[in-house]
Amino acid sequence: MSLNQTTDFQANFQSCVNRLTQQPERALTEIFDLVAQRLVRFAITITGNQFDAEDALQGAFARIAFKPRLLAKANAPWPYLIRSVRNEALRIIQKRKGTGLEVTERGSGEQSVASQIVHEETADIVRRMLKTLPKNQYQVVILKHWEELTFAEIAEALGLSQNTVASRYRYAMEKLQRSLEPLVR
Amino acid sequence: MSDSFLEIPEPSLPEHNLLQAAGTLPELTSGFRERVVLNVHQQVRYGRWVERAWVTGNIVAACFVVLLVWNFRWTNQQKPQPQGQRQDTVQDDASPTYPTYISPGKNSDDDAAPAQPDAHGNSLPQGGPSIRREFIPEMLELNELIEKLQSRKHVLCGFLPYL
């Protein structure tokens, strides 16, 4: 994603958030259209499959629709929304563990995602390598590279300190650089 | 995007480009958008209803408390006095005679008065404490006011704070 695209995205997102208190239905629909795919992509990193990721997104939007002011008054709305989705995804995982319906780590979701990108072999390899990372490092790398958040925003989204986020990112990148070296050559 | 104070380089290395290229967006399942939008609209309406109910409940509770306090106050004012007097009536026509308060404190009048000699003709030491003090009429009014408030406090079963 280029810098212009990121700026446009943030400007559009902020304008939608500004209209949340006046027209919550319309603003939330526009926010959904703007961020749904990105948030599902992020939620997949937690739930391991797309269905649960979509449920997490739906749950997060339902909570925000119940009290739109929470998002409207947030200091950083985009990390706040990411955090809401993350909390919903973690709740779904907890529920799944409680009912004994735990899906194997990155099972059907991985295949469904991978089947959509059959023609992108390199990207597929990179994604597989990413998934070999520990989950906490994986999330930081995803938020850093795919969502292009700063460390401060990632720290707010994940509820961690900036130093923890930075050290996780550093460890993850050291591993990835070793494993991605053949692809780079 | 850079975090200069943490000295993390910007993602400009080839590995970083590979990572960014791998971040394709997933296709949402069919009907997911409609489901979420419908749910969002329902939740917005439900949230509005809950907020209005909460505000209405608060207003009703406040009105109830005001009514309760007013009712107790009115009942207290209507209570007849044994001597046929109203409790709130201020007796302005007859100026009350206040009893003189005797205190062991020093009075300023004593400073001007010369020291009286004792039976042997020796003068008594000066500067001792006086036993007379003028009564302040405002104090009686304040005491009456405090008594009135305390009687209301008893009527209100201790709802008012102690003064």
Reported as a single tens digit per residue, the pLDDT across A139-161 is: 898 888 888 888 898 998 888 99
Q: What is the mean pLDDT of chain A?
A: 82
Classify A20 as helix, strand or coil. Answer: coil
Domain ranges for chain A: 1-105, 117-185
Could you read off the pLDDT of A39-55 as tens digits, one per residue?
Answer: 999 998 888 888 999 99
pLDDT tens sequence across A75-92 = 889 999 999 999 999 999
Band of pLDDT at residue A65, cut at 50, 70 and 90: very high
Residue at B50 is within a domain = yes
Mean pLDDT by 10 residues, chain B (163 residues): 56 75 82 92 92 95 92 71 53 56 53 57 60 71 86 65 55
Comparing CB atoms, the residue among A65, A116, A176 nearest residue B43 is: A65
Contact present, A96 and A103 (Cβ < 8 Å): yes
Assess if residue B61 is contained within a domain.
yes
Is B43 in contact with A32 (Cβ distance < 8 A)? no
The number of domains in chain B is 2
Contact A116 B33 (CB under 8 A): no
Asked if the structure places residue B103 within a domain, the reply is yes
B24–A123: do the CB atoms touch at under 8 Å? yes
Rounded to an integer, what distance in angstroms lies between the CA atom of residue A71 and that of residue A21? 10
The two structure tokens encoding residue A28:
């939330």
Chain A residues lying within 8 Å of B15, measured CB to CB:
173, 176-177, 180, 184
Which residues in chain A touch residue B11, judged by CB atoms under 8 angstroms apart? 144-145
Work out the burial of residue A155: count CB atoms within 10 Å of its CB; fewer than 13 is exposed, 13-18 middle, 19 or more buried.
Answer: buried
Residue B57: inside a domain: yes
**pTM score over 0.90:** no
Please give the residue range of the domain that contains residue B103: 99-107+130-163
Substitution target from B38, B44, B45, B49 for chain A, most A beta carbons within 10 A: B44
In a domain, B163, yes or no: yes
Same domain, B103 and B153: yes
Let me know if domain A117-185 sits in CATH 1.10.10.10. yes
